[in-house]
Amino acid sequence: MNLLQINLQDFDPDIAREFGGGASGMDFLGVPLFDAQSLWTMLIRFVFNFLVCWVIIHCFYYKKANRKDYYFTFLMFAVVIFLIISLMENMKMNIAYALGLFAIFGMIRYRTETIKIREMTYLFVVMGLSIVNGMALSTSYSELVLVNLFTVLIIWLLDGTKLLKHTAMKIILYDRIENTKHGKEDDLKADLIERTGLNISKVEVGHIDYLRDVAFVKVYYEPIDGEVNTIDTITKLKDFDN
């Protein structure tokens, strides 16, 4: 066995690639100009992550909420977070660093509109999947597909079907204050059903103004079309914003 054969046996492509010995193209300041394997890996994972997030946002969230602003926001979160995670893989990020990204967005305060729990849930799902898909470089594609498939399936069961019955809530400024008295709950409910046409299941009486003979009542009802009403709880004109 000659010296050349010994050198070939001791050659480790992973070690050579780490120290630049396996680079096949030109580089600039120690950074390769083109790495086909790394590029294809990132593109495949990017397309996969984008499609999964798009299905979740378009087929489950947007179908009920019909909010284009959140549609755009969720997709951009998915794209940017995935690119940040995947392009910083060489920094050997740990779980604490990855979860620290959630703290960055947790400090953001949206002053124009309060983000409801449903939107926050979908935002968390999109961010979480993007981090998983960007960091799981040592995970097989079958495991990655299974994790994303489980997430989509659970969302479909809980939000995309009638497994959980959705009950909406609306605040009404009520003018027939005599029906807010104790013992007239049935009259109050019947009057609200007749005037609103909603399938009301429960009524709660809140602030009562005897000077103007009005009261705030909160009604719980089953939506006719199953869609989420984003302005149910608005009671002031200045809070109305499309």
If phi > 0 it is left, if psi is from -120 to 50 it is alpha, else beta; for residue 139 that is beta
Please, what CATH class does the domain formed by 168-239 belong to? alpha beta
pLDDT for 6: 41
State CA 138 to chain mean position distance: 25
Q: Residues 35, 40, 43, CA angle at the centre, nearest 5°?
A: 125
Mean pLDDT of the chain, nearest integer:
76
In which residue are the tokens 């909603």 written?
198
**Per-residue confidence band for 86, with pLDDT thresholds at 50, 70 and 90:** confident
pLDDT for 105: 58
Distance (Å, whole) CA 104 – CA 82: 15
pLDDT in tens, 148-186: 999 999 998 888 766 667 778 888 899 988 898 888 889
**Per-residue confidence band for 72, with pLDDT thresholds at 50, 70 and 90:** very high
What is the 3-class SS of the chain, one letter each residue? Answer: CCHHHHHHHCCCHHHHHHCCCCCCCCEECCEECCCHHHHHHHHHHHHHHHHHHHHHHHHHHHHHHCCHHHHHHHHHHHHHHHHHHHHCHHHCCCHHHHHHHHHHHHCCCCCCCCCCHHHHHHHHHHHHHHHHHHHCCCCCHHHHHHHHHHHHHHHHHHHCCCCCCCCEEEEEEECCHHHHCCCCHHHHHHHHHHHHCCEEEEEEEEEEECCCCEEEEEEEEECCCCCCCCCCCCCCHHHCCC
Beta bridge partners of 200: 221
Give me 9's structure tokens.
């046996």
Torsion of CA 62, 65, 69, 71, to 10 degrees: -20
Give me the residue spans of the domains in the chain: 35-159, 168-239
Q: Strand 199-209 and strand 168-174: pairing?
A: unpaired
Q: Which of 136, 196, 138, 156 is nearest to 172 (CA)?
A: 196
Overall size of the chain counted in residues: 242
Question: Given a cut of 60, is residue 54 above it in pLDDT?
Answer: yes
Q: What average pLDDT score do residues 237-241 get?
A: 48
pLDDT, greater one: 55 or 68: 55
pLDDT for 67: 81
pLDDT in tens, 178-204: 898 888 889 999 999 999 888 888 898
Question: Given a cut of 80, is residue 121 above it in pLDDT?
Answer: yes
